[in-house]
Structure 1
């Protein structure tokens, strides 16, 4: 096994979606799934391309209600490239017998190679080899070559290259009832060997321009322009054994780009000036080499090394140095698919600790994304009656709350209220990331500037969210990271009181704000605020039961779930929430968690850090209580999130090393083996990938 190569032999329709996601190529500016270039969205293949920060908002009718959703847009498909032998059908899925098929991702060089032999209905055998890149050197360029060898036939060989703007957002089955037509075609052109397509997003009105230069020595050329589609057909005479190579060089620009007059002219100019595939490849490999020297993580086992290379590769393709000049956050599913609609959650909490020491310019850019949305977060806090900045659980273009009002349970077929916007702890993640960046860089100017502003505004929000009750500060009506509990079973109003993760991390936050004031001063911070921040480091409320931390107030009164019975009945119970809802029940009734909640405190703070905060709050806390707390929640978590195995592996590696191995194996295999049963095809899990890399960094 070569740890730098991910190879798939044979065509497997059931696994094609996962393969496409895992062989995505990107450069931080845009990314394209590893779909076959001759394919279109057909239920097996999904050739999606996504531009960082390019969102659009549409209204759909869901369960009789108008629902507005903002999506990361599936932009026009630049990949399309196919062929046919004289008198035959254009090669497409299902039109020919596949004799040989191999699909290889080279992570070291950032290229995708596809080799196949096919036999058409007339018995003609053709060998095809394709190479693809999305340039890490120039973020606006991509390239594709195809070498065709007719093995047993002579005649005319036709090549069709196209830009397809008729695509929609349809990559996630449970969203297909929602409106997904985000692209409005504007115009298409074909002249002097270059085809161009200009589209615009429906409501955000972002122009997306593509230009493609297709070259084939000795071929006759014919262009085809339709609404939303521009084609370039070439014909060349061949004999058996001839090698025919076609190159397709593509440029992609949007109206959000800097230093351009307009996107269509920029794309046209770039594709005309770009060199051939070999030139682009040389520069692309050089750029990847620079990245790998800064971000490579090593393991002794070759198979583990391959997975680590894959996960760091996808992390760097989403958060590359090119985003340093972009206004973009970190989509939880990368630029690899449409799950979660391309929204930004808290996954950078797992990414920034890995990137900050290696590529601080990237983490600074990700924090700039949050800082630019401070006005919206301040407005959200003020509208809810609070001070400071209240960041949304799901963020997209402008920083408003993008969490949908309803979510779909595919097991029951019902649309249900989505209350996850109550995860106010996303602001704590922003603050944690600020401090991680500062610790990695020791950049006091950052702390005195926009980083410190983020930290202070989040602290002001949590200070206003808390209320002093009987000498302790309480936070009510929120959700923790667990997500299965969004309220009490006997309460009409959603939300939980005194979630331990939220309260402890609030105490941590107040400590860091006071540290910041000590380092760079307290400009704009009054004495009363400093007194309140100080009091909250000493008097936040944390509930306990049976000698362990209670996940939230009232947790002790919930019922125990019959875990054995549910595992026997359903087998995989990772999505226990869907199972229970389909049964007419709710996880709110049970001591059952989707993912690490209390254990996140061990993951972020470490045993010593958690001990310092709890004892600083005046609570009894010792090693036995820590062990008991870990064991207690270990038995009551079903790991419905890819992040859960990462957290458990890390926590257990420190507290009980022998028990961490199963979680480490699961964390390693979550995406590469698609352990979440189909979710990887909708987009990789970026936080989990970074978390796995961080685990191995800690081991070495």
Structure 2
């Protein structure tokens, strides 16, 4: 793999939080930020370790109100390994003693390497080299190897290795008024001379956590210290000039959520005692990563390819094959930080389409997370007088609504009502992912059982939310918020919510149509059991069919309206705000600080109507609108695209991704600027400090899927691989390997005007490759070169 490393030269305190996020290591079970082991949490550094699905709930008093929040817990810090000359101060990169520093993340091997040189005295230095891994083969292990080399001197060096439970969830500044102490009942102890342990529990969810560490150094004795919230080992090394001395630290982590264990502490102590030495751990870890890369192989040249491999690396660390064994969803900020409190939003809409074609077992597990919380979604719908299932905008441990009721505007310092829980379109995202997973994997067993029950209950909610308007002769869905979070109410309205959000209504119509189709094709025993169990009437499918054809979609001035009444909003003076503020991505905060509200203006945070062009191919979208009684020709869609391009501030990392996708499918020459923005979203921290709080997993996975499906036009509908590639000169050559309905390692290579397809040998049926002008059958073991239809050059915007 070319460009396999992500490197940073020099030490920059202002960039540390960003680097710590991007240098996070994980294995799908837990992850640890790339903080330096000798540093403690503060304004510069933020070490954090997070186990997937490990949440805790606390109540805080905010603006005179009690507010309850559930957070992904910052677990005890296993990293601490600091060093000093006897009697001296501990070395830290923030002191003047740092002479040089570099950091390198090996993407191929999943290893973080750092090298630093500290000044000891005039003409004398201490060279420190570290290798760090979070084991991809054994998801409960992590290891740190540190080599100390004296340059121009000899003498003693004191090293302290610790497990530290004096941590809190303090990684996001705007949350710091909230209670953040999640760990309680901390105990430490000694397992044997080389190993210490720490155990604790979360305060309300009562998850028990056990960690054990083994620290070794050849020929050195280890001393154990007892502290209230830290398990500490001290080692004294004797250094000779130019001779490296190695300290190895191996750590095991278990929680009471783990299967097949008794007590998590016993499991952690036993595992660390049996763990092999560092070289063997490194070897097996590298092999596990090698197998992952083989399944997710991606070949894109240049800078774009380098960034895409980093994105893929972080997707695989958050949602690895180990995730398939867990009861977890897609955390919007990965396991990389505490922004969004580790909650599960709709980001799986951008993540699962990629995983479906590489790790379908992981997709199935993530959809099963939703099915397990179907009861909570039913309860939520019932609470507002609706049938079916209403999934929460933010989900955590048990599927209740975790969206905060108030949020802080850092610009004004005011706490404001948060109405984003009205984004009921998250249910359509769940249904969409179920359907696309089935199309890609052919997993009829899941579709006919858990998938069918979930999808049908979401359809039931939409049917129950639609009210018939006699004047329009249409069904309407009122009081919702669409993907554009800037608009949550009409100007001066007493109640939040908007009517007939186009994205919400069109996707609801799609869900209802799929539910009718599914009920009509389910095997009779499955259909009978499902309808009896959830109490569906015999005439329900016909009712849903009618609603799916008559949901109202507003238009104005020849374009799709974002919602009913959008055309009545005032235009915004974009030039004024750009001139005055420069970065206006968070226009909502700017206007609120001025005593105004973005609800008054035709201004969007992110793609809303245009999300339809992300979810559906042009042909599929035209068919959807035709079904709804509207003609959506190319001219109308292009007008709609242009209309919202001019009125969007891109306050979400997903916005550039969606716009790049839509513009590339529309063969627009300005597509690349948005694709480039999406690629740079996290690595350049374009949102201004947000990446340091955790990467944006949906945007990262979405850029991968942009190459996989967006540029190729790849669809898995109808039992064939449909491809309709579009020219994007800046990404004209790329290749990847997918897994499709039991075929492992189907290789697609795109070159200008040409598609190369290789299907690995197997006993499975041939794959039909459907191009715009013909269909070609490729048998297992065959390779073929296909000339692509000529395309017009991309047009200007």
Query: Does residue 493 of structure 1 match 2:495?
Result: yes
Show the 5 A alignment for 1:179-218.
Answer: 179-190=179-190, 191-218=192-219
1:95 shift after superposition: 3.9
- Counterpart of 1:111 in structure 2 is 111
Query: Does residue 38 of structure 1 match 2:49?
Result: no
The unaligned stretches of length 5 or more in structure 1 are none
- Counterpart of 2:570 in structure 1 is 559
Contact 1:199–1:228 under 8 Å retained in 2: no
- Counterpart of 1:285 in structure 2 is 286
1:621 shift after superposition: 2.4
- Counterpart of 2:85 in structure 1 is 85
Contact 2:198–2:210 under 8 Å retained in 1: yes
Query: Does residue 512 of structure 1 match 2:523?
Result: no
Contact 2:91–2:97 under 8 Å retained in 1: no
1:531 shift after superposition: 1.1
1:232 shift after superposition: 0.2
- Counterpart of 1:463 in structure 2 is 463
Contact 1:59–1:67 under 8 Å retained in 2: yes
1:305 shift after superposition: 1.2
Contact 2:57–2:70 under 8 Å retained in 1: yes
- Counterpart of 2:597 in structure 1 is 586
Partners in 1 of 2:334 and 2:186 — Cα distance? 28
Q: Deviations over 1:177-232 (max 9, x none)?
A: 11000011431012321010001111111011100000011112211121110100
Contact 1:105–1:111 under 8 Å retained in 2: yes
SS in 1 for 2:708: helix
- Counterpart of 1:247 in structure 2 is 248
- Counterpart of 1:570 in structure 2 is 581
Contact 1:221–1:233 under 8 Å retained in 2: yes
Partners in 2 of 1:103 and 1:623 — Cα distance? 49
SS in 2 for 1:361: helix
Contact 2:165–2:186 under 8 Å retained in 1: no
- Counterpart of 1:646 in structure 2 is 657
1:2 shift after superposition: 5.1
Partners in 1 of 2:306 and 2:652 — Cα distance? 23
Show the 5 A alignment for 1:99-138.
Answer: 99-120=99-120, 124-138=124-138
Contact 1:185–1:228 under 8 Å retained in 2: no
Show the 5 A alignment for 1:613-632.
Answer: 613-632=624-643
Show the 5 A alignment for 1:258-297.
Answer: 258-297=259-298
Query: Does residue 656 of structure 1 match 2:667?
Result: yes
Q: RMSD of aligned C-alpha atoms?
A: 1.2
Query: Does residue 693 of structure 1 match 2:704?
Result: yes
User: Which residue of 574, 597, 603 maps to 2:608?
Assistant: 597
Show the 5 A alignment for 1:151-190.
Answer: 151-190=151-190
Q: Deviations over 1:97-139 (max 9, x none)?
A: 2111110000100000000111146764100100000000000
SS in 2 for 1:564: helix
1:152 shift after superposition: 2.1
SS in 2 for 1:671: helix
Q: Deviations over 1:242-266 (max 9, x none)?
A: 2110000000000111111100000
Q: Deviations over 1:6-51 (max 9, x none)?
A: 0000000001100000000000000000000111101111110000
- Report how many aligned residue pairs link the two structures: 699
User: Which residue of 477, 480, 483 maps to 1:478?
Assistant: 480
1:518 shift after superposition: 2.7
- Counterpart of 1:527 in structure 2 is 538
Partners in 1 of 2:153 and 2:96 — Cα distance? 15
Partners in 2 of 1:266 and 1:367 — Cα distance? 29
1:555 shift after superposition: 0.4
Query: Does residue 680 of structure 1 match 2:681?
Result: no
- Counterpart of 1:17 in structure 2 is 17
1:362 shift after superposition: 0.3
Show the 5 A alignment for 1:321-360.
Answer: 321-360=321-360
- Counterpart of 2:778 in structure 1 is none
- TM-score, normalization by structure 1: 0.98
Partners in 1 of 2:194 and 2:285 — Cα distance? 24
1:656 shift after superposition: 3.2
- Counterpart of 2:58 in structure 1 is 58
Contact 2:92–2:98 under 8 Å retained in 1: no
1:451 shift after superposition: 0.8
Partners in 2 of 1:173 and 1:557 — Cα distance? 37
Higher relative contact order (CA 8 A, sep 6+): 1
Contact 1:21–1:34 under 8 Å retained in 2: yes
- Counterpart of 2:235 in structure 1 is 234
Partners in 2 of 1:185 and 1:112 — Cα distance? 32
- Counterpart of 2:548 in structure 1 is 537
SS in 2 for 1:59: strand
**More deviation in 80-89 or 28-37?**
80-89
Q: Deviations over 1:558-602 (max 9, x none)?
A: 000011111011001000000000000101000000000000011
1:517 shift after superposition: 1.7
Contact 1:165–1:185 under 8 Å retained in 2: no
**More deviation in 594-603 or 2-11?**
2-11
**More deviation in 619-628 or 637-646?**
619-628
Partners in 2 of 1:225 and 1:169 — Cα distance? 24
Q: Deviations over 1:477-514 (max 9, x none)?
A: 00000000000002110000000000000111111112
Partners in 2 of 1:572 and 1:119 — Cα distance? 41
SS in 2 for 1:74: coil
Contact 2:607–2:655 under 8 Å retained in 1: yes
Q: Deviations over 1:610-630 (max 9, x none)?
A: 111111111232211111011
SS in 1 for 2:506: helix
**More deviation in 216-225 or 551-560?**
216-225
Contact 1:297–1:696 under 8 Å retained in 2: no
The unaligned stretches of length 5 or more in structure 2 are 712-749, 751-797
Contact 2:174–2:408 under 8 Å retained in 1: yes
Partners in 2 of 1:483 and 1:95 — Cα distance? 43
Partners in 1 of 2:662 and 2:21 — Cα distance? 29
Show the 5 A alignment for 1:379-398.
Answer: 379-398=379-398
Partners in 2 of 1:298 and 1:346 — Cα distance? 28
- Counterpart of 2:223 in structure 1 is 222
Partners in 1 of 2:120 and 2:487 — Cα distance? 55
Partners in 2 of 1:30 and 1:51 — Cα distance? 4
Partners in 1 of 2:38 and 2:594 — Cα distance? 43
Q: Deviations over 1:246-304 (max 9, x none)?
A: 00000000011111110000000000000011111111111111111111222122x21
Partners in 1 of 2:31 and 2:345 — Cα distance? 20
- TM-score, normalization by structure 2: 0.87
SS in 1 for 2:28: coil
SS in 2 for 1:697: helix
- Counterpart of 2:454 in structure 1 is 454
- Counterpart of 1:610 in structure 2 is 621
SS in 1 for 2:630: coil
